[in-house]
Amino acid sequence: MSHLCHTALLKMTNQYGATIIFPSQKNCSETSLINRFLAVCDETNPDNLNIMGREIENEVKMRFLNIGEQILSRLNIPKPEGYDQQIDKYWSIFWLFESFDEGAYKAAYHNIENRFGAIKNVRNFDQLEQSPCRRCAITGEHTVLFYRQGNKRAFVPDYAVALPDTVPKKYMESAEMLGAIAFVKRCAEVCYQEKTGYKHNFPSTAEIALMPLLEKYKNELPSLDHDPELIFDWKNGRPKPKNVTAEEWRQAKKTFAFFKGKEEDLTAYYALIHFDGDNMGKWLGGDYLAIDESLEQFQQGLSNQLVDFAKDASTQILCLPRGITVYAGGDDFLGFISLKDLFKVMNELRARFDKIDLHHFIEKKPTFSAGVVIAHYKAPLGEVLNWARRMEREAKNLGDEKNAFALASISTGSFSITFWSRWARRMGFLPEKMLAIYVT
């Protein structure tokens, strides 16, 4: 999403000479952009504006199509029937223009926001015509077009492509069957790595849970040439998984024995944090400004500050070995954290957000509300993400001023709300408001 938004921004600035109001392009990473932008351009002719909007929309769609074509080519996979249709009909892209006179920027901004919301509420879409076949395991709506060789099941269409063993398992497991959209997203690194240096080194949830110990003993551990989840398999007395080699299994046993010898507690839990800024619609709309004429400069200043925060948050606060940032798009943030560092990271994120300085425009400071989930590494990630979003909504409902966090513990153990509350205070995390939910 960030890459495609960057594609649209480049088209807007390089071809049409527009000024981007937000998101700020100052120190902006192509991998951390929000999926919308506001720009000011000199063009006022309706026909030319219509052409401009269509060309930017087509640029994004063509870029995604291009990514898919490169993936198929580099993995040496033929394009199955129905592939182009799924890709072409996937994206919903909305855009509009609002003309304004000098000094009327604020009114124009409110008009365009209201119209934009109305457009998104009444969505036009093309019906995706598909035969009654097995659907994608991820999207649930697209016909299966890719499956593992030798694992074809009933109702998979004859034109679906069997992936050879040369395609890494991390792109698609043996039992999975995917449509075009899910497959392209899953394999995106094949295209990105060469262009942006992006590498698929994202740690597993088991590794995040073990991260403090892996860092503590990084110079002493016998080997890390195995999935950290295997350490928990040894701890819990599970048999060797079928897709694990004998050597990997032996190395995991050595690592487990090492930790056992150090009498270390191998926690199987990690944390996921999701937050965004409070009342950002009001902030961007200038509701807290006394001078209407300063809104455009204020939006640019706020956007610059949010980009600086996002950069610091992902590179200095939530980074290895504490955890890893998934997405930092200014006031919108998602990341995995080890339990040992959870409240330290939350404190530092909050302290850094408090440094956003808009005193040239207003004394009031923006705040954020966060949802935090503590979960077992084997908990379905979709459920964990749903709980993180739910807790973020709960945090925003704790009061009119928001500025809070809500925490859920998804556990089968003996953790409790009181435990997490006391731990938060012992670790020095003193929120304005806190809500905790215990889920079994």
- Identify the CATH number of the domain in which residue 308 sits: 3.30.70.270
pLDDT confidence bin for 430, thresholds 50/70/90: low
Q: Rounded distance, CA 411 to CA 273, Å? A: 17
> What domain count does the chain have?
4
**Together in a domain, 185 and 246:** no
Whether 113 and 161 share a structural domain = no
Least confident of 65-69, 167-171, 369-373: 167-171
In whole angstroms, what is the distance from residue 327 CA to residue 319 CA?
Answer: 12
Tell me, yes or no, whether 213 lies in a domain. Answer: no
Q: Is the pLDDT of residue 197 over 50?
A: no
211 is a domain residue: no
In a domain, 83, yes or no: no
Nearest to 242 by CA among 320, 316, 173: 173
Q: Are residues 278 and 416 in the same domain?
A: yes
Is residue 375 helix, strand or coil?
strand
249 and 322 together in one domain: no
pLDDT value at 258 more than 50: yes
Question: Do both 232 and 296 map to the same domain?
Answer: no
Question: Is residue 367 within 8 Å of residue 277, measured between CB atoms?
Answer: yes
289 and 322 share one domain: yes
Q: Is residue 100 part of a domain?
A: yes
In angstroms, rounded to a whole number, what is the distance separating the alpha carbons of residues 198 and 189? 7
CB neighbours of 72 closer than 8 A, spacing ≥ 6?
78, 79
Domain membership flag for residue 210: no
Instruction: Please give the Cα distance from 23 to 231 (Å, whole number).
Output: 43
If pLDDT is split at 50, 70 and 90, which confidence band does 210 have?
very high
Give 289-339 pLDDT, tens digit per residue: 877 668 989 999 999 899 889 889 999 999 999 999 988 887 889 999 999
Task: Outline where DSSP puts E strands in 69-151.
Answer: 146-148
> 65: phi > 0 → left, psi -120 to 50 → alpha, else beta; which?
alpha
In a domain, 356, yes or no: yes
Q: Is residue 350 part of a domain?
A: yes
End-to-end CA distance of the chain: 34
Q: Kindly state whether residues 231 and 107 are assigned to the same domain.
A: no
Dist CA 170 CA 174 (whole Å): 10
Residues 391 and 278 in one domain: yes
Contact 171, 186 (CB under 8 A): yes
Q: Is 293 in the same domain as 430?
A: yes
Q: What is the pLDDT of residues 70-79, one digit of tens each?
A: 999 999 999 9
Of the chain, the percentage scoring pLDDT greater than 70 comes to: 88
Report pTM.
0.82
| Residue 108 lies in domain | 2-74+90-121
Q: Are 250 and 384 found together in one domain? A: no
Q: How far apart are CA 435 and CA 331, in angstroms?
A: 21
Q: How far apart are CA 417 and CA 424, in angstroms?
A: 11
CA dist., res. 395 & res. 387, Å (int): 12
What is the 8-class DSSP label of residue 141?
S
Q: Whole-angstrom Cα distance, residue 317 to residue 348?
A: 7
The answer as to whether 377 is a domain residue is yes
Lowest mean pLDDT among 35-49, 56-70, 293-307, 404-418: 404-418
Same domain, 172 and 241: no
Alpha carbon distance 181, 335 (integer Å): 24
Same domain, 33 and 146: no
pLDDT tens for residues 126-160?
A: 677 777 888 998 888 899 999 988 777 788 888 99
**Cβ neighbours of 237 (radius 10 Å):** 6
Q: If you search the block for the tokens 């205070």, which residue do you land on?
A: 425
More confident residue, 239 or 242: 239
Greater pLDDT, 393 or 124: 393
